[in-house]
């Protein structure tokens, strides 16, 4: 957001004057950011619930669809988050010097890489599902995928804490 005064259509945010246009964009991107973040967390929670049940054809299909939604939400979240960093909030200099942001961003990237393991597993079920069969998954593999989804949910809690800290200028 810029801090310039544009007479006639400016609004005050925390006592700083910003143009109505930049306020609207900041609000829109904040909304989209939350929408994608909630979708991502919701998808992860659904995956966690499904993977802990006995695998059926229906739950295997649902896991694939949910994982697709998760991937789309994560991709959009990354693009929207970076737009907020560079264009709509406190500026890149602020965020790249914030430890809370760096931890949040680092965890997000780590999650993105780790989530490749469950995604590859779900994709490998395509043949069996097409043939109308329940995918056969070794118990060890299933435990690993469940553990990863669990760890991702735990990491989200830390990401949320970092988000709240960085937004308020803490832990720089």
Interaction of residue 24 with ligand HEM, rule CB under 6 A? no
Short-list 27, 68, 32, 26, CA closest to 47: 68
Report d(CA 80, CA 106) in Å as an integer: 16
For the four alpha carbons of 106, 112, 113 and 115, in that order, the dihedral sign comes to positive
Instruction: Give the residue, chosen from 33, 47, 100, 122, that forms a contact with ligand HEM under the rule CB under 6 A.
Output: 33
Q: How many CB atoms lie within 10 A of CB 135?
A: 19
Would you count residue 40 as binding ligand HEM (CB under 6 A)?
yes
* Shortest distance, position 85 Cβ to ligand HEM, whole Å: 5
CB of 135: closest distance to ligand HEM in angstroms? 28
Given 46, 60, 66, 81, the residue binding ligand HEM (CB under 6 A):
81
**128, 134 Cβ separation under 8 angstroms:** yes
Measured CA to CA, the distance from residue 161 to residue 38 in angstroms comes to 15
163 binds ligand HEM (CB under 6 A): yes
Q: Rank residues 23 and 84 by Cβ distance to ligand HEM and give the closer one.
A: 84
Reference 88, options 133, 144, 21; nearest CA is 21
Residue nearest ligand HEM, Cβ-based: 81
- DSSP state for residue 54 in the 8-state scheme: P
Kindly identify the residues of this chain, within the stretch 93-152, that bind ligand HEM according to CB under 6 A.
Answer: 95, 105, 108
Q: How far is the CB of 109 from ligand HEM (least distance, A)?
A: 8
Distance (Å, whole) CA 140 – CA 134: 17
Binding site for ligand HEM (CB under 6 A): 33, 37, 40, 77-78, 81-82, 84-85, 89-90, 95, 105, 108, 156, 159-160, 163-164, 166-167
């Amino acid at each position: 957001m810029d801090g310039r005064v544009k007479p006639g259509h400016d609004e005050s945010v925390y006592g700083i004057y910003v143009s109505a246009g930049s306020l609207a964009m900041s609000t829109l991107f904040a909304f989209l950011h939350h929408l994608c973040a909630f979708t991502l967390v919701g998808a992860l929670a659904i995956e966690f619930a499904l993977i802990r049940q006995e695998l059926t054809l229906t739950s295997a299909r649902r896991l694939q669809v949910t994982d697709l939604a998760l991937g789309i939400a994560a991709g959009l979240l990354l693009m929207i988050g970076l737009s907020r960093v560079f264009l709509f909030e406190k500026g890149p200099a602020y965020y790249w010097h914030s430890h809370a942001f760096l931890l949040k961003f680092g965890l997000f990237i780590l999650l993105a890489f780790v989530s490749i393991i469950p995604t590859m597993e779900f994709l490998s079920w395509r043949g069996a599902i097409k043939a109308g069969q329940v995918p056969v998954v070794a118990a060890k593999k299933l435990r690993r995928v469940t553990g990863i989804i669990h760890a991702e949910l735990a990491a989200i809690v830390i990401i949320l804490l970092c988000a709240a800290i960085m937004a308020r200028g803490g832990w720089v």
